[in-house]
């Protein structure tokens, strides 16, 4: 069971009239796997989020670095769940999606060619396509080769200074347009006019989310935030759970609490 302080915080969170319940996908709801295409949410995760999204005053969002199409397919999420992809550069409520300038499109083509060269020089490393960038993955390959590949990819950010470079676990993302999970979360909370935001995640980009919610210009909303780090690592989140199934337990507790508070309200 989740720790009692976290459960108490969940109950307090559930009592607010309007809430945004947002979570990262990979490493938070879906265990990290060798091939990103094999990623699947843990049992009960999406069902719990879907049930939450049916409750009054409750918006649920998946906030991921993945592009919208992959996030939709892997999560199996349907309306009214909000999908925020490409670190906030895509939003499922805006079907026109991402608009890149001519300069950004040209930079994306250059990035593609440069990364192909990195992959050729570092066997086993792989490129993932994103609407606004490319990601180099090195999970599962020789650690030295992997580290060299990540270094070579990150160095492209010095050659092309308008690229946004985001390192992660055995991964580096190079984007031609980048919003950031923190900016995206606060913008979504503001747009929805919610009183409180829940956010859970496992990686460097999620730390931007935790920090941004703590520094929300709406100080009352910042004080009502509930942030949860999944797994190890230094964090700005208020709470921590060990793994994906543990996060689902927290979401289930939130569903139960939210059901009774929306019924009572
Ligand atoms: Mg993650």
Listed residues 128, 160, 175: the one ending a domain: 175
Alpha helices in 193-233 (DSSP H): 204-214, 219-223
45 neighbors 245 (Cβ within 8 angstroms): no
Q: Give me ligand 1 centre to Cα 202, in Å.
A: 5
Mean pLDDT of the residues in the chain: 93
- What pLDDT sits at residue 6? 98
Choose among 259, 261, 257, 252: nearest CA to 1.
252
167, 241: one domain: no
126, 257: one domain: no
Q: Is 138 helix (H, G, I), strand (E, B) or coil?
A: coil
Q: Does 203 have pLDDT greater than 90?
A: yes
Q: Give me ligand 1 centre to Cα 46, in Å.
A: 16
Cα–Cα distance between 205 and 103 in angstroms, integer? 25
Split into its structural domains, the chain has a count of 2
Q: Give me ligand 1 centre to Cα 27, in Å.
A: 4
The better pLDDT of the pair 190, 180 is held by: 190
Q: Give me ligand 1 centre to Cα 79, in Å.
A: 22
Listed residues 113, 144, 175: the one ending a domain: 175
Domain limits at 119? 102-175
Q: Give me ligand 1 centre to Cα 204, in Å.
A: 8
- What pLDDT sits at residue 88? 85
Q: Give me ligand 1 centre to Cα 14, in Å.
A: 24
| β pairing state of 133-137 and 239-241 | unpaired
Cα–Cα distance between 170 and 119 in angstroms, integer? 14
Cα–Cα distance between 196 and 141 in angstroms, integer? 41
Q: Does 71 have pLDDT greater than 90?
A: yes
Q: What is the pTM of this model?
A: 0.77
**CATH number, domain with residue 230:** 3.40.50.1000
- What pLDDT sits at residue 207? 97
């Amino acid at each position: 069971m989740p720790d009692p302080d976290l459960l108490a915080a969940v109950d307090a969170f559930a009592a607010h009239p309007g809430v945004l319940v947002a979570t990262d996908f990979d490493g938070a709801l879906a265990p990290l796997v060798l091939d990103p295409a094999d990623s699947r949410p843990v049992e009960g995760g999406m069902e719990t989020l879907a049930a939450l999204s049916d409750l009054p005053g409750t918006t649920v969002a998946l906030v991921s670095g993945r592009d919208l199409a992959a996030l939709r397919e892997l999560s199996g999420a349907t309306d009214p769940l909000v999908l925020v992809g490409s670190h906030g550069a895509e939003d499922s409520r805006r079907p026109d999606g991402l608009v890149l300038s001519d300069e950004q499109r040209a930079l994306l083509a250059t990035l593609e060619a440069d990364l192909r060269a990195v992959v050729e020089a570092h066997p086993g490393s792989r490129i993932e396509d994103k609407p606004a960038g490319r990601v180099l993955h090195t999970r599962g390959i020789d650690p030295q080769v992997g580290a060299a590949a990540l270094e070579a990819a990150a160095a492209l950010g010095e050659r092309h200074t308008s690229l946004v470079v985001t390192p992660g676990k055995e991964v580096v993302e190079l984007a031609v347009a980048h919003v950031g999970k923190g900016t995206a979360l606060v913008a979504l909370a503001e747009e929805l006019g919610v009183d409180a935001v829940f956010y859970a995640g496992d990686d460097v980009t999620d730390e931007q989310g935790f920090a941004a919610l703590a520094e929300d210009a709406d100080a009352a909303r910042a004080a009502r935030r509930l942030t949860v780090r999944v797994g190890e690592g230094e964090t700005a989140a208020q709470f921590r759970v060990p793994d994906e199934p543990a996060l689902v337990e927290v979401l289930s507790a939130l569903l139960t609490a939210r059901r009774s508070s929306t019924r009572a309200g």
